Amino acid sequence: MRECWAIGWLMLLVAGCGDDDVAARCGDGFCNGGESCDTCAIDCAPCPDPVCGDGRCNGTEGCWSCPADCGDCPDPVCGDGACENPEDCRTCAADCGDCPVACGDGVCDPTEDCAGCASDCGPCPICGDGVCNGDDDCTSCPGDCGTCPPVSCGDGACTGTEDCRNCPGDCGVCMVTGDGVLRVVSVEPVAQLTGEPSFNSTGSVNVYGTDLGSMFVHGDDRLYFLFGDTFGAPGHPDTSGDWRSNVMSWSTDLDPRDGITFGGWIADGGGRARALVEGDHAPNDGSGEVTKIPTCGWSDGERMYLWFMSVRRWGDPGRWDVNFAEIATSDDDGATWARSGVQWPSTSNFIQVATLEYGLERWFLGIPAGRFGGVKAARVDPAAVLDREAYEYRAGGTWVDLEAAAAEVVPGPVGELSVVWNRYVNRWLMTYLNEPAGRIELREATDPAGPWSEPWELVSSLGHPGLYGAFLSPRLLEDYGRVVYFVMSQWGPYNTFLMKATLERHEGLAP
């Protein structure tokens, strides 16, 4: 009997030890049982700082900050009830809620109008402003809309007070010529072009984050897009892998009103967008080449050309050092690229360029490394673009062989520039980033060598934080150039967006 009693107490004591939880022992000075640095730091000492790559998903590590330890984050799904990066109120209201209405955010929301928020919705129509819109008509505002058609309008004869303005059916359509930009009427976002989610869902080619998007036409009227540093999920340079220095897509969708659908990418055998001319990806300490950034591309009908800069070190915002700029070529529609060895040194004003055809020559408008220099002009016979000695540079109304003698045609600060001819305003248009002012600006000129006008503001960083790049194409227009589309980048989401600007011109009848 005593033996049974003793055994019973022994079993009770053993059972009691087995039921003891961690919290009951934490603080007794012994790191034992189920205790660990995570559950009882006082007994087991604080956990070491998490180290990404040690095989343990702990501390502040997660799938976004350390996929090597914690695994890849699942792709966000709009409608699953969780507002996950890169979802936001504009791309997924179902998860993130409706965006707050804010005057000055660059979007004319349903509850806003021209009276309450002209900065988003544009100014209200005013009789006498030279634009026939809103409630203006030939009766209430003939100064803007023209005189009303005479009673005889429609009889097939241009008689009496009828003319091309008040009776085009009888007198024919007026020949109107643009005479420069009067004002920028409005600027609106159209669609996000790259990333996830986006108009093109580019995660299918492992493009979750990219920037730039300068354009050129080649071959069977395809529009090619040159993108800069490109990353896999989640997409931002600070947190993502699968880094490629440059990639390229193409499209035959030349109706930009609802966005641009990409038709394909220069890709590897697995369907992943691959680098055209890969960078070395050296450390960002000035010891080598960090990356190769495409600044411009063009085609002579058979061969593609790519102007890129070799970045040595990224510095403060808007400032970076380069090794050189160089031209690469492709003779198989972009599938493979060869470096030409034709280079401009790190001190050149043609590290980043926009290009155009003018007369029988190819012109380049260039800026130095970074976003604070001014624009200079160069020209060359198209057949000699790979002969650096054949280039001439604009200097005080003449052309010279020496780049060092070139004069600025647009003062700085200018970053990521683009230039096209616009027949609606009968002018060359230039877009670029003004880094200190935090806005994308527009200038016009009758000649690409200048003089260029004072700038108009297109987009402000107040409504689009981290904006840069504003790349134009003569293919992305509406109403003969009255509406101009451009590709803009934003650093925060680190992706590209299609924007549209509506212009109003000074008008005059052609002689």
pLDDT at residue 108, as a whole number: 74
Q: Residue 197 is part of a domain; what is its CATH number?
A: 2.115.10.20
Mean pLDDT of 357-375: 97
The answer to whether residue 9 is domain-embedded is no
Provide CB contacts within 8 A for 233, sequence distance 6+: 72, 73, 75, 196, 203, 206, 208, 240
Confidence of residue 13 (pLDDT cuts 50, 70, 90): very low
- The 3-state secondary structure of 299-357 reads ECCCCEEEEEEEEEEECCCCCEEEEEEEEEEECCCCCCCEEEEEEEECCCCCCEEEEEE
- Cα angle, residue 216 at apex, residues 465 and 425 outer, rounded to 5°: 75
The answer to whether residue 72 is domain-embedded is no
Confidence of residue 103 (pLDDT cuts 50, 70, 90): confident
Span 344-356, pLDDT tens digits: 999 999 999 999 9
The answer to whether residue 105 is domain-embedded is no
Q: Among residues of the chain, what percentage have pLDDT more than 90?
A: 62
Whole-structure pTM value: 0.68
Domain that holds residue 397: 184-509
Question: Please, are residues 106 and 463 in contact by the beta-carbon 8 Å criterion?
Answer: yes
Structure tokens belonging to residue 377: 């002009």
Confidence of residue 372 (pLDDT cuts 50, 70, 90): very high
Residue 311 and residue 323: Cα distance in Å, rounded? 6
pLDDT at residue 21, as a whole number: 43
Q: Among residues of the chain, what percentage have pLDDT more than 70?
A: 81
Please state, rounded to an integer, the average pLDDT across all residues of the chain. 86
Span 308-348, pLDDT tens digits: 999 999 999 999 999 999 999 999 999 999 999 999 999 99
Residue 213 and residue 226: Cα distance in Å, rounded? 5
The answer to whether residue 151 is domain-embedded is no
pLDDT at residue 95, as a whole number: 79
The answer to whether residue 344 is domain-embedded is yes
Confidence of residue 142 (pLDDT cuts 50, 70, 90): low
How many domains are contained in the chain?
1
The answer to whether residue 138 is domain-embedded is no
DSSP 251-297: E----TBTB----EE-B-TTS-B--SS------SSSSS--EEEEEEE
The answer to whether residue 78 is domain-embedded is no
The answer to whether residue 415 is domain-embedded is yes
Query: What burial letters (b/e) apply to 175-196, b meaning 16+ CB within 10 Å?
Result: eeebeebbbbebbebbbbbbbb
The closest alpha carbon to 192, from 210, 214, 217, belongs to 210
Mean pLDDT of 6-29: 47
pLDDT at residue 51, as a whole number: 78
